[in-house]
Structure 1
Amino acid sequence: MRRIKAAIIGAGFIGKAHLEAVRRLGYVDIVAIGQNGQDKADAYAEALKIPKAYGNYMDLLNDPEIEVIHNCTPNHLHFEINKQVLLHGKHLLSEKPLTLTREEAKELHELASQTSLVTGINFNYRQFPMVQHLKSMVKDKDLGEINIIRGSYLQDWLLYDTDYNWRMEPEYGGQTRAISDIGSHLFDLIQYVTDLRIVEVFADLAVVIPKRYMNAAQGESFQPSSTHDRQLVDIKTEDYCSVLVKFDNGARGVFTVSQVSAGKKNALEINLDGSQASGSWKQEEPFRLMMGYRDKPGETVLRDPSQLKKEALPFMHYPSGHEEGWTDSLKNMMHNYYQAIVNQVPISGSVATFKEGYEIMVINDAIVRSARSGTWETVNWE
C-alpha cells in the first residue's frame, strides 16, 4: 500500500484529534501543518513532530507533495479554505459545519461534484459500531416502522458567564452556535441512521446567558477560561435550542441541544420509537444499545461480534469488553475516508459528503427562520 502525504490546517482541539487518528492508520503521513502566522506554525510543528510548517495556507496548498488537506480551522474560515483546496486539486476532509451559510455550502457541494477529488465532512458519530448496528436494524425493519424520533446533545462547557470562546461571535462561529456546533451532529446522525429526511421544523431557542466575560486571550475549545483581562460583552448566539421536527415518512420528533446543562460533557443521545420496538444509543456509553418492547423485557445489546449485524463488524477492532470510544470513531472515520483515495473507489457511505453537509446547513437555515417567525418552517431542499 502506497503512503499518502497529508496536511492539517488548524491544530487546535479537533486538529490534534485528526492528527492522532490519522497516525493510527499507518499508511498516511502528516507532512505539514498550517497555522495563522509562521511563528505559530513552527511552534505547533515542533510540538507535534510534523516536518513542515506554513504560516500561510496558500503556500501549503502550493506544496506538490501534499495530496490531502484536513481543514480543522474555525468555522468562518471553512468556506474560503475549502474552496481553495478544491481549486488546487487536493482531496479534502473538512470539519463541520461545512460553511457558515447554506449558499456557501451549496457552492462547495456543486464545486466538489465537478471534480474527481475525494471530499468528506467529519461527522464521526456515524462511525461507532453500535450506531452501525442500529442503522442495520432500521434497514431490516427490526424496529418496524419508525414513528417517533427523539434526540439530544447536551454539554456544560459554557455553563458559567466566565466561559467564553470564539464560537460565540457570529462573525467567526456563524449566526447559530449550539445548533451548528452540536445540533449539526445530531441532525446528521438521525438522518443517517434512519435514512429519513427532516422536512419541517418548529424551533425555540434561547440565549440563556445574555452577557459573558470575554478574555483578552482566548484558549482552545473545551479548555478552562482565564481569569485575567475580562470584559463583559453581549451574547447573540444561542446556548439552547429545542426543535419539533417532521420527517418525510410522516414520523415526528423532537431534538434538544444545550451547552449549559451541568454534568453533561458530551451527551449525544438518539432514541428511535418504531411500531415493533424502540432503540436508544448514548455516545457517552457507546458500547451498548438499549432495546425496548411492548410484550417482553427490554434488552441491552453490547458491542460484541456475536451480537452485531454483519454491517457493523468492520467498525469494531477489539474483543467485547475492550471498549472503543470517541477516538476510535475518529480512526474509523479516517480509515473509511482514506480507503477511497488508496483504492480509487467511491467514498464509503459512512462518510458524510459535501451534499449532506449542505443539507445540514439547509436544516439549520429553516431552524433559524422558525425561531424568528414562531411557526413551522419547511426545509427547502432545492
Structure 2
Amino acid sequence: MRRIKTAVLGAGFIGKAHIEAIRRVGYVDIVAIGQNSQEKAEQYAKALNIPKAYGSYEQLLQDTEIEAVHNCTPNHLHFEINKQALLHGKHLLSEKPLTLFSEEAKELYHLAGQTKLITGVNFNYRQFPMVQHLKSMVKDKDLGEINIVRGSYLQDWLLYETDYNWRMDPKFGGPTRAISDIGSHLFDLVQYVTGLTITEVLADTSIVIPKRYMTKGQNESFQSQSDSMPQLVDITTEDYCSVLVKFNNGARGVFTVSQVSAGKKNALEISLDGSFASGSWKQEEPFRILTGYRDKPGETVLRDPNQVKKEALPFLHYPSGHEEGWTDSLKNTMHHFYAAILNKEAPSNSVASFKEGYQIMVINDAVIRSVKSGTWEKVDSV
C-alpha cells in the first residue's frame, strides 16, 4: 500500500484533532503544517513532530510532495484557502462551515466538480456507528414514515461575559455564530440520517450576553482566558437560536442551538418520530439508540457488532463495551476520505460533499432572513 502525503493548515483545537485522527489511519504521513507565521509554524511542527513548517498557506500549496490538505483555519479563511488548494491540485478536507457566505460555497462546489480531486467537509457526526444504525433504521422503515424531527445542540463554553472567542467577530466567524458553528452540524445530521431536505424555516435568535470582555489574545475554542487586560466589546452574533423547519416530505421539525446552556458541554441530540416508532441518539451517550413504541416497551440498541445494522459495521472497530466516541468519529472521517484518494474513487457518502456543505449555507441564509422578517422563509434549492 502506498503512503499518502498530507498537510494540515491551522493547529488549534480542531487542527490538532485532525492530526491525531490522520495518524490513526496508518498509511498517511503528515509532512507539513501551515500557520500564519513562520515562527508559529516551526513551533507547532516541532511540538507535533511534523517535518516541514510553512508560514503561509501559499508556500505550503507550492509543495509538490503534498497530495492532500486539511483546512483547519478560522472560518474567514476557508473560501480562499479551499479555492487555492483545488487550483493547486490538492485533495481537500475542509472544516465547516465551508465558507462564510453561500455564494462562495457555490463557487467551490462547482470548482470541485470540475476536478477529479477528492473533497469533503468535516461533518464528523455522520461517522458514529449508532448514527449509521439509526440512518439504516430510517431506510428500512423501522420507524415508519418520519413525521417529526427534533434536535438540539447545547454547549456552555460561552456562558459568562468573560468568555470570548474569535467566532464572535463577524469578520472572522461570519454573520452567524451558534447557527453556523453548531447549528450546521445539526442541520447536516438530521438531513443525512433522515434522507429528507429542509425546505422552509422560521427562526428566532437571541444575543444573551450583548457585551463581553475580550482579552488581547483571542482564545481557541473551549480554552480559558489569558491574564491580559480585558476590553469590553459589543456582541452582534447570536448565543442562541431556535428554528421551526419544514421538510420536503411534509414532515415538521424543531431545533435549538445554544452556547450558553450551563452544564451542557457538547450535547448534540436528535429524535425522529415516525408513524410506527421513535428513535433518538445523543452524542454524549453515543453507544446507544433509544426506540419508543405506543403498544410495547421501549428498546435500547447498544453499539454491539451483533446488534447493529450491517451498514453500521464499517464504522465500528472495537468489541461491545469498548466505546467509540468523538475522536473515533474523526478517525472514521479520515479513513473514508483517504480510502477514496487511495482507490481513486468517490468517497463514502458518510463524508459530506461540497454540495452538501453549500446546502447547509443556504439553510443558514434562510435562517438569517427569517430572523429579520419574522416569517417563514424558503430554503433556496441547490
User: In 1, Cα distance between the equivalents of 2:235 and 2:225?
Assistant: 16
Alignment of structure 1 residues 296-311 onto 2, 5 Å: 296-311=296-311
Deviations 1:79-130 (A, max 9, x none): 0000000000110000000000000000000000000000000000000000
User: In 1, Cα distance between the equivalents of 2:265 and 2:227?
Assistant: 22
Alignment of structure 1 residues 3-42 onto 2, 5 Å: 3-42=3-42
Tell whether 2:270 aligns with 1:270: yes
User: In 2, Cα distance between the equivalents of 1:272 and 1:63?
Assistant: 47
SS in structure 2 at match of 1:286: strand
User: In 2, Cα distance between the equivalents of 1:132 and 1:292?
Assistant: 18
SS in structure 2 at match of 1:219: coil
The residue type paired with residue 42 of structure 1 is E
The residue type paired with residue 342 of structure 1 is L
User: In 2, Cα distance between the equivalents of 1:168 and 1:157?
Assistant: 13
User: In 1, Cα distance between the equivalents of 2:98 and 2:230?
Assistant: 31
User: In 1, Cα distance between the equivalents of 2:9 and 2:42?
Assistant: 13
Q: What's 2:354 paired with?
A: 354
Tell whether 2:219 aligns with 1:256: no
The residue type paired with residue 32 of structure 1 is A
Q: What's 1:105 paired with?
A: 105
Q: Displacement of 1:226 after TM fit?
A: 2.2
Tell whether 2:151 aligns with 1:151: yes
Q: Displacement of 1:347 after TM fit?
A: 1.1
User: In 2, Cα distance between the equivalents of 1:212 and 1:227?
Assistant: 15
The residue type paired with residue 304 of structure 2 is D
User: In 2, Cα distance between the equivalents of 1:56 and 1:103?
Assistant: 25
Q: Displacement of 1:219 after TM fit?
A: 2.1
User: In 1, Cα distance between the equivalents of 2:56 and 2:98?
Assistant: 21
SS in structure 1 at match of 2:244: strand
Structure-1-length-normalised TM-score: 0.99
Q: What's 1:44 paired with?
A: 44
SS in structure 2 at match of 1:287: strand
User: In 1, Cα distance between the equivalents of 2:344 and 2:65?
Assistant: 18
User: In 1, Cα distance between the equivalents of 2:244 and 2:148?
Assistant: 11
SS in structure 1 at match of 2:368: helix
SS in structure 1 at match of 2:345: coil
Alignment of structure 1 residues 173-322 onto 2, 5 Å: 173-322=173-322
Q: Displacement of 1:217 after TM fit?
A: 1.2
The residue type paired with residue 77 of structure 1 is L
Q: What's 1:372 paired with?
A: 372
SS in structure 1 at match of 2:143: coil
User: In 1, Cα distance between the equivalents of 2:271 and 2:209?
Assistant: 29
SS in structure 1 at match of 2:285: coil
Unaligned runs of 5+ in 1: none
The residue type paired with residue 377 of structure 1 is E
The residue type paired with residue 238 of structure 2 is E
Q: What's 2:70 paired with?
A: 70
User: In 2, Cα distance between the equivalents of 1:56 and 1:303?
Assistant: 43
User: In 1, Cα distance between the equivalents of 2:227 and 2:367?
Assistant: 35
SS in structure 1 at match of 2:212: strand
SS in structure 2 at match of 1:175: coil
Q: What's 1:134 paired with?
A: 134
Q: Displacement of 1:194 after TM fit?
A: 0.3
SS in structure 2 at match of 1:245: strand
User: In 2, Cα distance between the equivalents of 1:231 and 1:24?
Assistant: 41
User: In 1, Cα distance between the equivalents of 2:373 and 2:225?
Assistant: 35
User: In 2, Cα distance between the equivalents of 1:346 and 1:216?
Assistant: 44
SS in structure 2 at match of 1:256: strand
Q: Displacement of 1:56 after TM fit?
A: 1.2
User: In 2, Cα distance between the equivalents of 1:43 and 1:288?
Assistant: 41
Q: Displacement of 1:220 after TM fit?
A: 1.2
The residue type paired with residue 41 of structure 2 is A
Deviations 1:19-47 (A, max 9, x none): 00000011000000000010000000000
The residue type paired with residue 84 of structure 1 is Q
Runs of 4+ displaced beyond 3 Å: none
User: In 2, Cα distance between the equivalents of 1:202 and 1:225?
Assistant: 35
Q: Displacement of 1:346 after TM fit?
A: 1.2
User: In 2, Cα distance between the equivalents of 1:61 and 1:227?
Assistant: 36
Q: What's 2:342 paired with?
A: 342
User: In 1, Cα distance between the equivalents of 2:235 and 2:323?
Assistant: 39
The residue type paired with residue 304 of structure 1 is D
Q: Displacement of 1:381 after TM fit?
A: 1.1
Moved more, 224-233 or 189-198: 224-233
Q: What's 2:58 paired with?
A: 58
Structure-2-length-normalised TM-score: 0.99
Deviations 1:281-315 (A, max 9, x none): 00000001100000000011100111100000110
Unaligned runs of 5+ in 2: none
SS in structure 2 at match of 1:31: strand
Q: What's 1:95 paired with?
A: 95
User: In 1, Cα distance between the equivalents of 2:41 and 2:228?
Assistant: 26
Percent sequence identity is: 79
Q: Displacement of 1:227 after TM fit?
A: 4.0
Q: Displacement of 1:228 after TM fit?
A: 2.6
